[in-house]
Each structure stands twice: as structure tokens, then as C-alpha cells.
């Protein structure tokens, strides 16, 4: 990741004339703004708020094959069944309530001050970030080839997009300290999803509708502009609310917030449910036909079930509630579904969610939060997602959360996630930075399951190469020059005459991260009890072999390890914090393992140290 020098990062952000023109055309009169921000557009088909809830039509699911949790996505009755009389009555009620809920908007006379305030806040944030970069201590754990912040805090990715011949990636960012705080949007770009360069901070929490944090969201290109659809957090007197907002840019560098914010003020009223206003976030936007759609993650308060709602719009500004896309059952898939997304992969839809609060079940769901998927199809008329098969997780390791997705120009679906977790120990804070992204991963569907593989572009980083063939491991063995702290290891192992194979990564006399496969148990295990500072634990995933062959691609980068087994069927990721001296790689066999191929690649750095 190429880093701009401090003067560039600290430079005042000047909004382009075209961007300001777009903002000006976005401005409405105060009266018009009142109508827009009232939420009326969300309820073009008002729902019945009283009476008996509609009878539920439920689609059974199971969690992953190794788990016996019985999960369900519940389909609510179509909103169009509400009587005309109820619609007329509730429309009147909504109109009366709207007048009390317009304080989040920026009246037209104050628009110029709002733009200036945002620009000044960004200027200040970039100056402080540049100072942090300049004063950072030595950074041993900082990655060689992963995307990471220039300094201070990075977490959930946002706005992964392709604009003006570059990939753009935004992320949750505290530009002032290496810990979570009031969130801004950090920003980086790349020509190939591999070599990232840091750009100035893109969004700051300066308006009433986002004053307590600019939270996650996505982006889309429309009419030559890059639009950001993001969550805003507002907290007044202990009353917390979240809403959806819009910002735009002509150059992909300078962003101005919409005069119509918030574009979705509050959750819809849905018969039989109570949608959380406090947990109403992470819009995911895409275009289907001539219509824009957006998913929003939220919660049904009475049952504490995660839920995904779907909205539609013709212009990205006026959004209508279109239905319930998915709803959990008895909190079996968590109490809140963050970062929803919908992508089309191999002629099927993948609904991605990041559930909070799934209870551990055996070897499954041991992390505080998860990121997973349903495979099926979205009904654009009703907004309902019809799943096929079980709920699965993208990554069986310790650290992977809230992925963002993009469809590349050549048709691939690629995701990037945060290599972190809410309760993770983060020793790199002492080095003045915190958080990193996964390598980009391409999605495939095989037998109605999601597989993920490193993108082909990762091969561009390969430098020094050592290739070995048909090596026999019968006890313990290391290979000369196959060692280091940042590399790719590509292995095909014949397990026909072996019970197990273990690989010690970042190993020394006192430290090691152990990846092992137990053929009798049919399980891949990642253990970090001795991985260095502040870490312990083990993760296990079921894995069957075909023709007794175990295929592994392992990416190690200073303070991380990512494992892709059997062409992406199982993925396991973890942060690790070993010492500088822990660079060894050791193979340990129970029985006789034949390494049909062992390819070791030193990877070129993409960051200017």
C-alpha cells in the first residue's frame, strides 16, 4: 500500500466545482426538505399497526452441517393486503408525526455552513492523521502486502467500488487515535485491489444526522458521480437512533453530503413487528434494471432477532420500503444482522450478513460475531429472499468480519473483510496503528455452498520462489530457505498413508502458530496458543478430502495468517503477534505424508515503510 506523504494527507480538501454543482442541484427548499425527511417516501403503502399479525410463512434452515441449530428466515405477509381504509387513516397519522421529526435535516439557508463545517472537519482530521504518521514508532507488525491504515484505527470496510478506473475502499476510521472512537470514513484506492494508496479522510461526523459517527455503508456510480450511502449515528439524551444518508463526489476524492439527508430517516412500521431505531444501519446499494435497491440491517425488538429490510429508489434520494428480505427466528442467528449484502454469483444470489450474538454450538460460532451467507434467490417483487440450503460462514478462523463486495469488470465477485473482531486483543496499538483488511477473495458457488479463493491478482506479488516436489514427511522436517514473516505457501499433500499433518508457522523455540489436519477426524484445526502476544485459542472446521489430497494456500504477513483449504471450501484467518525471531516453518507427520508439491513465494511489499 503506497502512502501519500504527510503534506498531501494534511492538505485542505477543496470541493470541485462539479461536485458543488451536484450538491446545489440536490438542495431543496426548506418545505420540500421537510417532506423528504419526514419518511413519507418510505411508506408509500402504509401498514396496519393494530390487530392480529399476519400468519407467518416460514422457511426452515439449518446452520452448517456440523451444527444442529434449527434456524429460520421468516416471511411476513405482503404489505399490499392492508385495506384502503387503513392506508388512508395511517397516512394521516404519518403526516402528523412527520412534522416532529425534521430536525435532522439541514435547512436550505444553513446548507453553505454545513458544507464548510464538513470541509474544515476533514482538514483538521487529515492534519492530525499526518502528524500521527510522522510520529509513529517502529512498526514491526505492520503488514507488508495487506491494506492497513496510515496510522490510528481501522475497522469495518465500506464503499468498495470501481470508479474512474480505480478501486476505492473506505473503512471505519478514527484519525486521531489507534482505538475505536467517533467514526469517520478513511479512504484508499488501487488500480488492481492489491497495491493500495492512502487518500485523505472522506467523511466526517459533522451534521445532526451523523454527529455521533459516520458508520458503515456502500457506494455506487450514477451519472458520472460516486455516491456513498452510509449510516449516521445520533445520540441525544440517551436516545440513540441511526439513519441512512447520502454523499457524492465527481473526482472520487472530495465528497459533499446531500441536502436531502437523511434519505431514510427511520425504520418502517411493520404489522406484527417492532423494528429497532437504534440498530438500523449498514445500507448496501445496487442497481437492478432501472431501479436502485438497498438492504438495511436491523433488529426485531420483541424477539431480539436479526433482520434485513429492502428499499428501492429511482434516484438514490427517494427511497420506498419494499419488504422484509430475511428475518431470524428465536435469536438462533443472533440478535442483530450487520453489513447485509446481496451479490449474484454463478447464477444464484448470495445474501451476506454479519450476525451479532449467535450462541456457540460445539466447535461452531466461537467468535463474538460472525460473517456468513445464505444461497438462494431474491424475489424483487416482494423483496423476500428464498434460501436454498444451510447458513454458512465465510471464515472459520478467529478474525474476519463485515465484508464488502464488488463485481469486477470481468464479472468476478470479490470481497474484502476486516481482519479483526470486536473483542480482539490489538497489540499493534502500541505501534500507533490498529486494524487491517483481508486479502481480496473471489466468491464461487459449488454444490450450493460459497467457496472463497484469493484473487488472481495476488500472484503479481510473487517474487523469490522455491518449488519442491515429491518430498516425504514421516516425522518432523524443515526445508532450507523456506521461512520468513511474510510469504505465500502453496501445498498439495497426499495423505493416503498418514493420519495427520501439522504445519508450524512463524515458529521458534517458544512460539508457533499450528495448522493441522486430522484425517481420521476429518478436521482442519488452527491453534494460536503460542502465536505471540495476548492470544490463545483454537478453531476447528470439518473438511473431507478428495482422493486423499489436502490442498492448502497459506498467506502469512507479519501479524496475520489466512488459510484457504481445498480450493476455498474452508477458510481460516487470524491475527498473530510473534517476535521477529519466529520465522521458521516446520512440517510434522503422523504416518507418511507425500508433499506432491510445495511452492514457497516471498511476496513483494506494497507499502512504503
The pLDDT tens digits of the residues spanning 170-213 come to 999 999 999 999 999 999 999 999 999 999 999 999 999 999 99
Cell numbers standing for residue 575: 491475527
Q: Is residue 503 part of a domain?
A: yes
pLDDT level of residue 103 (50, 70, 90 thresholds): low
Question: Which residues on neighbouring strands pair with residue 433, listed in sequence order?
Answer: 152
Specify the range with the lowest mean pLDDT, choosing from 28-37, 242-251, 283-292, 439-448: 28-37
Across 52-65, average pLDDT: 34
Measured CA to CA, the distance from residue 294 to residue 296 in angstroms comes to 7
In a domain, 374, yes or no: yes
From 13-17, 104-108, 451-455, the region with the lowest mean pLDDT: 13-17
474512474: which residue's cell?
Answer: 164
For residue 104, the model assigns a pLDDT of 77
Task: State the residue for C-alpha cell 512460539.
Answer: 511
> Is 527 found in the same domain as 550?
yes
Q: Domain for residue 53, yes or no?
A: no
Q: Is residue 405 scored above 90 in pLDDT?
A: yes
Same domain, 415 and 507: no
Looking at the fold, whether 401 and 302 belong to one and the same domain comes out as yes
**Other beta carbons within 10 Å of 53:** 12
Q: Which helix (H) or strand (E) holds 533?
A: none
Band the pLDDT of 607: cuts 50, 70, 90: low
In a domain, 69, yes or no: no
- Is the bond preceding residue 262 a cis peptide, omega within 30 degrees? yes
Q: Output the nine-digit C-alpha cell for 262.
A: 437523511
CA distance linking residue 193 with residue 195, whole number of Å:
6
Average pLDDT over residues 237-265: 95
* Within-domain flag for 97: no
pLDDT at site 454? 98
Residue 228 resides in a domain: yes
- Top pLDDT among 374 and 103 is at 374
Confidence of residue 563 (pLDDT cuts 50, 70, 90): very high
- CB of 391 within 8 A of CB of 333? yes
In Å, how far are 167, 352, 408 from 405, measured between CA atoms?
12, 10, 10
Residue 231 and residue 183 share a domain = yes
Nearest to 279 by CA among 326, 223, 338, 365: 338
CATH number of the domain where residue 252 is located: 2.115.10.20
485 and 595 assigned to the same domain: yes
451 in helix, strand or coil?
strand
- DSSP element (H, E) containing 96: helix 84-98
> Can you tell me the distance from the alpha carbon of 291 to that of 331, in angstroms, rounded to the nearest whole number?
33
Structural domain range at position 550: 462-603
Q: What is the pLDDT of residues 111-155, one digit of tens each?
A: 999 999 999 999 999 999 999 999 999 899 999 999 999 999 999
pLDDT score, position 385 = 98
Distance from C-alpha of 214 to C-alpha of 228, rounded to nearest angstrom: 11
365 and 478 housed in the same domain: no
Q: Count CB neighbours of 473 within 10 A.
A: 22
- Cβ(495)–Cβ(593) under 8 Å? yes
Asked whether the predicted pLDDT for residue 61 surpasses 60, the reply is: no
**End-of-domain residue from the set 454, 478, 496:** 454
CATH number at residue 486: 2.60.120.560
The fraction of the chain above a pLDDT of 70, given in percent, is: 83
Question: In this structure, what are the phi and psi dihedrals at residue 170, rounded to the nearest 5 degrees?
Answer: -105, 165
Who has greater pLDDT, 60 or 482? 482
Closest CA to 75 of 60, 92, 91: 60
- Final residue of a domain: which of 387, 419, 454? 454
| Helix intervals (H) in 180-265 | none
> In this predicted structure, which of 60-64, 179-183, 234-238 has the lowest mean pLDDT?
60-64
Residue 55 CB neighbour total at 10 angstroms: 9
Residues 424, 478, single domain; the answer is no
Residues 319 and 293 in one domain: yes
CB 123 within 8 A of CB 254: no
Q: Is the pLDDT of residue 275 over 60?
A: yes
Whether the Cβ atoms of residue 294 and residue 311 lie closer than 8 Å to each other: yes
In SS3 terms, 7-32 reads as HHHHCCCCCCHHHHHHHHHHCCCHHH
Do 304 and 267 belong together in one domain?
Answer: yes
Per-residue cell: 375: 444461497
Contact 407, 167 (CB under 8 A): no
Residue 579: other Cβ atoms inside 10 A: 14
Query: All 3 cell numbers of residue 188?
Result: 484508499
User: How, if at all, do strands 560-565 and 512-518 pair?
Assistant: unpaired
pLDDT digits (tens, 9 = 90+) for 474-527: 999 999 999 999 999 999 999 999 999 999 999 999 999 999 999 999 999 999
Within this chain, do residues 258 and 319 fall inside the same structural domain, yes or no? yes
- The x, y and z cell numbers of residue 534, run together, are 495476548
Instruction: Count up the domains in the chain and report the number.
Output: 2
550 in a domain, yes or no?
yes
Please state the pTM of the whole predicted model: 0.84
**Residue 74 within a domain:** no
Answer yes or no: do 305 and 423 share one domain. Answer: yes
Closest C-alpha to 317, from 378, 405, 248, 216: 248
405 and 478 inside one domain = no
Last residue of a domain, one of 454, 484, 500: 454
Amino acid at each position: 500500500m503506497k502512502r501519500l506523504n504527510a503534506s498531501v494527507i494534511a492538505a485542505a480538501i477543496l470541493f470541485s466545482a462539479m461536485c458543488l454543482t451536484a450538491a446545489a442541484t440536490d438542495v431543496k427548499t426548506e418545505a420540500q426538505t421537510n417532506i423528504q425527511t419526514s419518511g413519507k417516501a418510505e411508506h408509500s403503502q402504509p401498514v396496519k399497526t393494530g390487530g392480529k399479525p399476519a400468519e407467518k410463512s416460514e422457511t426452515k434452515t439449518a446452520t452448517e452441517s456440523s451444527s444442529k441449530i434449527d434456524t429460520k428466515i421468516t416471511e411476513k405477509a405482503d404489505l399490499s393486503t392492508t385495506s384502503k381504509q387503513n392506508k388512508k387513516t395511517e397516512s394521516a397519522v404519518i403526516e402528523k408525526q412527520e412534522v416532529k421529526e425534521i430536525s435532522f435535516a439541514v435547512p436550505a439557508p444553513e446548507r453553505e455552513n454545513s458544507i464548510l463545517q464538513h470541509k474544515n472537519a476533514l482538514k483538521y482530521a487529515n492534519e492530525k492523521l499526518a502528524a500521527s504518521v510522522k510520529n509513529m514508532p517502529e512498526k514491526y507488525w505492520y503488514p507488508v502486502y495487506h491494506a492497513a491504515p496510515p496510522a490510528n484505527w481501522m475497522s469495518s470496510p465500506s464503499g468498495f467500488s470501481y470508479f474512474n478506473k480505480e478501486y476505492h475502499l473506505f473503512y471505519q476510521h478514527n484519525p486521531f487515535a489507534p482505538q475505536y472512537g467517533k467514526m469517520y470514513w478513511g479512504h484508499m484506492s488501487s488500480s488492481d485491489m492489491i497495491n493500495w494508496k492512502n487518500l485523505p479522510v472522506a467523511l466526517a461526523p459533522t451534521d445532526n444526522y451523523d454527529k455521533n459517527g459516520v458508520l458503515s455503508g456502500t457506494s455506487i456510480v450514477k451519472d458520472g458521480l460516486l455516491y456513498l450511502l452510509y449510516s449516521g449515528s445520533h445520540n441525544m439524551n440517551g436516545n440513540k437512533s441511526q439513519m441512512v444518508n447520502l454523499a457524492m463526489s465527481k473526482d472520487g476524492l472530495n465528497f459533499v453530503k446531500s441536502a436531502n439527508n437523511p434519505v431514510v430517516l427511520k425504520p418502517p412500521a411493520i404489522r406484527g413487528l417492532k423494528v429497532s431505531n437504534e440498530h438500523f444501519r449498514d445500507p448496501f446499494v445496487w442497481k437492478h434494471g432501472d431501479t436502485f435497491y438497498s438492504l438495511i440491517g436491523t433488529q426485531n425488538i420483541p424477539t431480539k432477532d436479526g433482520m434485513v429490510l429492502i428499499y428501492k429508489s429511482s434516484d438514490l434520494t427517494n427511497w420506498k420500503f419494499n419488504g422484509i428480505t430475511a428475518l431470524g427466528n428465536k435469536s438462533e442467528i443472533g440478535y442483530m444482522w450487520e453489513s447485509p449484502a446481496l451479490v449474484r454469483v454463478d447464477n444464484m444470489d448470495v445474501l451476506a450478513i454479519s450476525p451479532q450474538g449467535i450462541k456457540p454450538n460445539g466447535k461452531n460460532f466461537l467468535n463474538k460475531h460472525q460473517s456468513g451467507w445464505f444461497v438462494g434467490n431474491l424475489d424483487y417483487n416482494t423483496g423476500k429472499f428464498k434460501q436454498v440450503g444451510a447458513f454458512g460462514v465465510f471464515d472459520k478462523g478467529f478474525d474476519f468480519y463485515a465484508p464488502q463486495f464488488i463485481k469486477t469488470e470481468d464479472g468476478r465477485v470479490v470481497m474484502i473483510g476486516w481482519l479483526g473482531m470486536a473483542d480482539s486483543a490489538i497489540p499493534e496499538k502500541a505501534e500507533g496503528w490498529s486494524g487491517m483488511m483481508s486479502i481480496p477473495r473471489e466468491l464461487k458457488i459449488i454444490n450450493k455452498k460459497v467457496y472463497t479463493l484469493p484473487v488472481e491478482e495476488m500472484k503479481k506479488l510473487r517474487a523469490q520462489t522455491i518449488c519442491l516436489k515429491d518430498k516425504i514427511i514421516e516425522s518432523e522436517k524443515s526445508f532450507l530457505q523456506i521461512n520468513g514473516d511474510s510469504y505465500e505457501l502453496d501445498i498439495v499433500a497426499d495423505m493416503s498413508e498418514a493420519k495427520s499433518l501439522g504445519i508450524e508457522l512463524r515458529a521458534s523455540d517458544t512460539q508457533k502458530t499450528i495448522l493441522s489436519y486430522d484425517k481420521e477426524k476429518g478436521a482442519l484445526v488452527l491453534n494460536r496458543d503460542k502465536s505471540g502476544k495476548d492470544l490463545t485459542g483454537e478453531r476447528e472446521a470439518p473438511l473431507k478430502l478428495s482422493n486423499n489430497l489436502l490442498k492448502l494456500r497459506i498467506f502469512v504477513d507479519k501479524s496475520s495468517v489466512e488459510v484457504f483449504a481445498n480450493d476455498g471450501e474452508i477458510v481460516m484467518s487470524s491475527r498473530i503477534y510473534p517476535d521477529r525471531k519466529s520465522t521458521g516453518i516446520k512440517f510434522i507427520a503422523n504416518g507418511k505424508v507425500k508433499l506432491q508439491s510445495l511452492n514457497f513465494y516471498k511476496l513483494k511489499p506494497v507499502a512504503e515503510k
